[in-house]
Amino acid sequence: MRLAAALETGTTGLWYGRFIDLLGTHVRAADRDAALEELKEELVYHQEWLRLHGETPPRLDSPAITVAEEVTGVNLLGESGGMVALFMYDVRAVPPSLLEECVRRMDYNRCDLLAQVRGLSAESMSVVPPGKKRNITQILSHVCNAEEWYVSRLGPEADRVYESSLGMSVEEADALPVLERLETVRRGCVETLRQVVSGKGDRVFTRAEYTSYPGERWTAHKVLRRFLEHEREHIYNIREYLGLRPRGPILKI
């Protein structure tokens, strides 16, 4: 059996990878070969992750990895405000079943994220390790910012739905303590996804607001997979901060 992967790289020299048929899988590496090696570990982790959260993972007997899509030249890949690739497999409509699967797995990621920070002292949350740009509190705030930005890619209609779903102004939500903000932003984002995604079909679109790259191409599918990939990346990031293996034993909340 062969598992199809999609890889991207760009101006930072970083490589991102994921399995096309295992939505939410994500690796980040310094070169192409390392990304392919990381994908082997990611596959094992993803299977265990699904089991932990009560799902039966697909049976994969001695799978081999094949690169089905590869995109180069992505501007600032891996940096805040940078671009990410639009793959051919992103250009498809999102049926209700897939949307709800993504929402369910967003919940799994959020449980994992909170499990990493539960019980940490304010001091531990505020430490910036050598070579890093953010402390853990700032990472959590960044996750909120990214989720607001991902729904904004769906257009002005999504902005309106998101704002009406918060139960408060965006400014008030953004001023909440970070753990409360995580919950509030996620609630607004999920409601927005449920109301807006189906109307996007398989269309490719751009949006000039809130970005340095107004020509970046998006689809509803790309928005959803980025919700999953981005939070998993920062779960791994926080685990490294805490001296844990990124894909080590999964903590239960």
What total number of domains does the chain contain? 2
Residue type, 166: L
Q: pTM for the complete prediction?
A: 0.95
Residue 23 DSSP class: T
42 in the same domain as 104: no
| 95 and 216 housed in the same domain | yes
- End residue of a domain, out of 61, 85, 109: 85
Distance of alpha carbon 228 from alpha carbon 152, whole angstroms: 16
- The verdict on 14 and 43 lying in the same domain is yes
Residues 64 and 142 placed together within one structural domain of the fold? no
- For residue 218, is it within any domain? yes
Asked if 35 and 118 sit in the same domain, the reply is: no
Domain membership flag for residue 25: yes
Taking a C-beta distance cutoff of 8 angstroms, is the pair 8, 75 a contact?
Answer: no
**pLDDT 10s digit of each residue in the chain, 253 long?**
689 999 999 999 999 999 999 999 999 999 999 999 999 999 999 999 999 999 999 888 778 999 999 999 999 999 999 999 999 999 999 999 999 999 999 999 999 999 999 999 999 999 999 999 999 999 999 999 999 999 999 999 999 999 999 999 999 999 999 999 999 999 999 999 999 999 999 999 999 999 999 999 999 999 999 999 999 999 999 999 999 999 987 666 5
Q: Indicate the helix (H) or strand (E) that contains 2.
A: strand 2-10
Q: Domain of residue 15: give its range.
A: 2-85
